A and B are shown apart, each in its own frame.
Chain A
């Protein structure tokens, strides 16, 4: 199993936000994490990266326990994180933002990977532009390029299509599909767009109040489930 969580509970301060979460993610799969706002989807990804105040339970990458490792060491296990709101570094150029990813590589390569440039021609043409000047969709491309520069085995994407123009949503969906199907990168993404989830996902997790309430192959994600756990 590439990524495995076992009975993971995660806290902000003394409040548990994620409760007894466990799942297995095989190599090459795309797992969609679904649920309403505030059910713990973002916290799940932040817990895997070690960005919550405290967590209990086991997190393994290819059998190696990482739950005790600080964030900067977890990145080196091949976790490429694309956080909510992109969080690109605004004072860095596009190139510097991509190079930031290379600090998490274990092979010591230091240049901008060709993959980042071929996937995103706009970034290739604007390497010396300040990243703070990019549009939302361009920043999302940059956030993906930055995570790819880590040479990841798993990409963790937090709402990759949030706040992005509809025509760019499809484009980002296609890019992710390519990364998953052609390059074999395992994906775990939180998503509000059911359409995107159905198109990309192999499996789904439905969350409510910090717990997993339903799971299975994406084909079993029925409208009834969506009705129950996602409509307001």
Chain B
């Protein structure tokens, strides 16, 4: 095979990596909230949306540089998550169906609330000129901003893994996940663990929203566009961090390669069909989390 024939495929793989990083960062907060707290957070897409609006608001009002908008969005949405957890979710931990309904309600409130404050017209987040360039190595290319997203996703995944597998807090989280009663019997406050984890998960959604506001336009309904992919990644991965990384990588690359031979829409259709077939044979995903909590 001539080298030039491989160029489109390699470009598709590079784009696939970019798609994977976007889906992964969209799914990261959902993963740790589902994997740890056991709550299926229907408001995840709206946490992403609120993150995008936070960045937009801070940029347009006080002119905060984009790179500082990222941690600011994390902090603001983490706080929103904290309030929602303390005010609502914590009363529903033993009632999974009710959390589904309650978080869906939260998503509607957030969407309408943002619409009331900011209106329904699209907003834009500006980035430094350098992020708008395209990077090219011979026939291979990718926009600088997509590279930034890949780098930030990698850094955030590494930081999350460090938090959960290398710190005392992470040990508390993993102890609560395995056996809540035993964790409590040895001095671990499961309530506090859930609260902090939920806030971190919400914050990660906010950070993702800040990035997505640059990739696309900022709208009150933008969350729904990402939340489907986020749920797919979590379900295919099985709810663990390593599962989500693997699932995002796999589905992102497949989407990109399928699109090479057809188009985006058909590629997505094909991917969804494959996922349905996959879940038929592995209903608990690639890496299932053991459930022993009460």
Contact = CB atoms under 8 A, between A and B. Distances in A.
Interface of A: 49, 51, 70-73, 75-76, 81, 83, 87, 89-92, 96, 99-101, 103-105, 110, 146, 150
A87 B179 contact: yes
B185 A81 contact: yes
B179 A72 contact: no
Contacts of A96: 171
B85 to A, nearest CB: 18
A103 B188 contact: yes
Closest 7 CB pairs of A and B: A104-B187, A71-B184, A103-B187, A75-B187, A89-B178, A72-B184, A81-B185
A72 B172 CA distance: 12
Interface in B150-203: 168, 171-172, 174-175, 178-179, 181-190
B186 A103 contact: yes
Contacts of A87: 179, 181-182
A75 B185 contact: yes
Nearest to A86: B182
Interface residues of B, number: 18
A10 to B, nearest CB: 15
27 contacts: A49-B185, A51-B181, A72-B183, A72-B189, A72-B190, A75-B185, A76-B187, A81-B185, A81-B186, A83-B185, A87-B179, A87-B181, A87-B182, A89-B182, A90-B178, A96-B171, A100-B171, A100-B175, A100-B182, A100-B186, A100-B188, A103-B188, A104-B186, A104-B187, A105-B187, A146-B186, A150-B186
B184 A150 contact: no
Contact of B178 (A49, A72, A91): A91
Chain B contact surface mostly: helix
Contact of B175 (A81, A83, A89, A110): A89
Interface of B: 168, 171-172, 174-175, 178-179, 181-190, 290
Nearest to B185: A81
Contact of A91 (B174, B185, B189, B190): B174
A83 B186 CA distance: 12
